[in-house]
Amino acid sequence: MEKEYLSLKRTPISKVIMDTLSGLIPQSVYTYYQKHKSVILMISFGLPVFALFLTPLFNGNISGLAYYLDALTIACIFAGMALTLNLEAGFLGLPNFGKVAFIAVGAYSFAIPVSIMTTKLEAGTLGFNYTMVIYIGLAISIIVSGLFGVLLALPTLKLREDYLAITTIVAGEILRLVLNNEDSLGGYSGFNIDNPVYITYDSSEFMSSSFITMSQLALILIITALSYYSYYRSSKKVIEHLPKDRHLLLSISKGFSTFVILGLLLVFLNYTKVLSYKALLGLDMLIIILAAIFIIYKSLLLNKIKVEVFYVVMIVVAIVDYLLGLITGNGATGIKYTDWYTFVMALGGMALVFVIVEELYYSPFGRTLKSIREDDTSSVSVGKSVFSFRLRALVVASALSGFMGSIFAMYTVIIIPQTFLPLMTFTLYIMMIIGGTANNKGVIFGAFVIQLLYAVTKGPLVQSNDFFIKNGLDPVNLGLIFVGITLIFFLIYAPEGIVPEHRYNNQRYYDMLYLNDEENQSENPLIAQLIKLSGSSLEGEEWITEGDS
């Protein structure tokens, strides 16, 4: 009652509009909209952007293919950053407005050791190669930004949400101003990254030593096949608890997911010329068609499992890739190998962050984070230490955003303090809100839509059109205008975003129940070892009710 009154008072115009609309539109259409809200929103916001993004390609204007690669790379990087923000602000409800500080720390702590090591390497006083330099740089950046997370968390985590927001935004600004005035870190003009890829002129040779070779890939495929086979064997126990068609669906979808991910990886590796064999057109066609069949199979034929946004995004990227290769022929695209390399790094980084964040979300840890977001006092009353959970989540999110920050540094080559304005944090927030707070797949979708929109307004389609210039409008600002309008629209009509959080997800708990049928679980050598190492136990007091009336 009270709530209704408040919402009426807050959005009177929108309420009036909605009421009028629902009066005009037939009830069946309205219920259809409510039922398929996320798909409709996804198409109505995603499709125009993707269409505009791809238009120059079909205009025959393919001179600037680097433009596509650039846009997709930065979209992947921002998607990864938005995912780490989602871990803090979406799952845990911690309004960290100093996200840009963690990215800056990650970028600088990657750039500094790498340039030191590269100087030594060129002088011949270093015992390892360029590949190791990058890996060591990434490791340092992850550790340093994780520690920075602890440093910022200790004084601020016990603050109330609004004060935490103020403190973190100020922390980000302080860091930027320090970097701006510290001459040893490059000061205002920024810090150059001695990217080993740019130094080694034979970059294809570099990459073939950095990434997996054909035989290694074959090994991975064999391992995946074996793991799928064992999954299929072990999941036979599920049959007793699930309808048979659902069981079949589960194992098929598991197998297909593995196949799609590895197949797309193969396509990317193929186009990056990492593999020593020539690009095989037929192989790529096969993989892309199978992936498409996978989606159609899941969404249309059985209509029981939702289409997974992540795979859709991956496949769109792959198809764009493929078209580029098809039109221009491999190796004739005018794209530098180093750009491909950065793109693969960005995509791989995003995928890694996605997997980590998704695993955390569907674990007891993620569930406790959600409970703290819902009601922290109540979490304390069942014995959860709120501070410890917040600290650990913040440290993981900082380390991951430091990782994405170092990939960002690789992409920009020169890092300038002016890049790390608070606006970057807000862009990440907008991506999260539009995509769907606390839904990782939605966040990736939101990041892609917004980054591609920015790319369109900066790209050849808009820039070659002198309509805007004639009317005294800088086309680059168009993106900001559109995103602002979209944000307002979403905050009023769909505050939960394009793909809302999946809340009614009890099925995955029922799917675990078959594990109870195992006899002598604690005698299983693997489980016994895990119990020993973790200090946890499987022995719980059984709850038996007697005299139930």
Partner 1 sequence: MVPVSKERNGSQKEIVKMAEKYELKAENVYKYFGGLKALDGATVLVEKGKLTSLIGPNGSGKSTFFNVITGYLDYDEDDANVQFQVHDIGNDEPAEIANKGMVRTFQHTRNFPKMTVLENMLVSPKDQAGESILWVFLGKPLWKRQEAKFVVKAMTILKFLEIDHVVDHLAEELSGGQQKLLAIGRLLMTQPSLLLLDEPVAGVNPTLANKIFDRIIQLKDTKGIDVLLIEHNMDVIMAFSDEIFVLADGKVIAQGTPEEIQANRKVLDAYLGESPDEA
Q: Which of 184, 202, 382, 466 binds partner 1 (CB under 8 A)?
A: 382
> Do residues 476 and 457 lie in contact, with contact meaning Cβ atoms separated by under 8 Å?
yes
Nearer to partner 1, 348 or 500 (CB): 500
Q: Which of 381, 472, 520, 523 binds partner 1 (CB under 8 A)?
A: 381
The reply on whether position 456 binds partner 1 by CB under 8 A is no
Q: How many Å apart are CA 513 and CA 541, to the nearest integer?
A: 18
Window 491 to 510, contacts with partner 1 (CB under 8 A)? 501, 503-506, 509-510
Q: Which of 189, 385, 418, 464 binds partner 1 (CB under 8 A)?
A: 385
Nearer to partner 1, 248 or 356 (CB): 356
Window 348 to 377, contacts with partner 1 (CB under 8 A)? 359-360, 363-365, 367-368, 370-371, 374-375, 377
The reply on whether position 525 binds partner 1 by CB under 8 A is no
Q: How many Å apart are CA 21 and CA 15, to the nearest integer?
A: 10
DSSP string across 303-314: --SPPPHHHHHH
Q: Which of 59, 181, 230, 378 binds partner 1 (CB under 8 A)?
A: 378
Nearer to partner 1, 177 or 515 (CB): 515
- Quote the least distance from Cβ 90 to partner 1, whole Å: 12
The reply on whether position 470 binds partner 1 by CB under 8 A is no
- Quote the least distance from Cβ 363 to partner 1, whole Å: 4
- Quote the least distance from Cβ 8 to partner 1, whole Å: 20
Cβ atoms within 10 Å of 512's Cβ, excluding its own: 10
Closest CA relative to residue 397, chosen from 387, 405, 386 = 405
Contacts with 415 (C-beta within 8 Å, 6 or more apart), sequence order:
104, 107, 108, 111, 186, 190, 191, 193, 409
Nearer to partner 1, 232 or 365 (CB): 365
The reply on whether position 245 binds partner 1 by CB under 8 A is no
The reply on whether position 541 binds partner 1 by CB under 8 A is yes
The reply on whether position 195 binds partner 1 by CB under 8 A is no
The reply on whether position 3 binds partner 1 by CB under 8 A is no
- Quote the least distance from Cβ 393 to partner 1, whole Å: 8
Nearer to partner 1, 177 or 380 (CB): 380
Nearer to partner 1, 93 or 187 (CB): 93
The reply on whether position 516 binds partner 1 by CB under 8 A is yes
Cα distances (Å, whole numbers) of residue 171 to 166, 193, 528: 9, 25, 46
| Number of chain positions touching partner 1 (CB under 8 A) | 57
The reply on whether position 530 binds partner 1 by CB under 8 A is yes
The reply on whether position 520 binds partner 1 by CB under 8 A is no
Cβ atoms within 10 Å of 275's Cβ, excluding its own: 18
Binding piece for partner 1, criterion CB under 8 A, among 61-69, 127-135, 293-301, 523-531: 523-531
Cα distances (Å, whole numbers) of residue 453 to 48, 82, 155, 193, 484: 9, 16, 38, 28, 12
> Do residues 416 and 441 lie in contact, with contact meaning Cβ atoms separated by under 8 Å?
no
Q: How many Å apart are CA 87 and CA 93, to the nearest integer?
A: 9
Nearer to partner 1, 401 or 425 (CB): 401
The reply on whether position 386 binds partner 1 by CB under 8 A is yes
Count how many Cα atoms sit within 13 Å of the Cα of residue 111 in the half-sphere of its side chain.
Answer: 24
Contacts with 192 (C-beta within 8 Å, 6 or more apart), sequence order:
111, 115, 186, 413, 414
Residue 290: which H helix or E strand, with range? helix 281-296
The reply on whether position 540 binds partner 1 by CB under 8 A is yes
Q: How many Å apart are CA 317 and CA 309, to the nearest integer?
A: 12
Residue 549 exposed, middle or buried by CB count within 10 Å (0-12, 13-18, 19+): exposed
- The 309-348 contact track toward partner 1, x by CB under 8 A, reads ----------------------------------------
Contacts with 476 (C-beta within 8 Å, 6 or more apart), sequence order:
457, 458
- Quote the least distance from Cβ 501 to partner 1, whole Å: 8
The reply on whether position 396 binds partner 1 by CB under 8 A is yes
> Do residues 239 and 513 lie in contact, with contact meaning Cβ atoms separated by under 8 Å?
no
- Quote the least distance from Cβ 311 to partner 1, whole Å: 22
Closest CA relative to residue 433, chosen from 82, 72, 84 = 82
Q: Per this entry, what is the length of the chain?
A: 549
The residues facing 192 across adjacent strands are: 414
The reply on whether position 523 binds partner 1 by CB under 8 A is no
Q: Applying CB under 8 A, which residues contact partner 1?
A: 359-360, 363-365, 367-368, 370-371, 374-375, 377-386, 392, 396, 501, 503-506, 509-510, 512-516, 518, 521, 526-527, 530-531, 533-538, 540-549
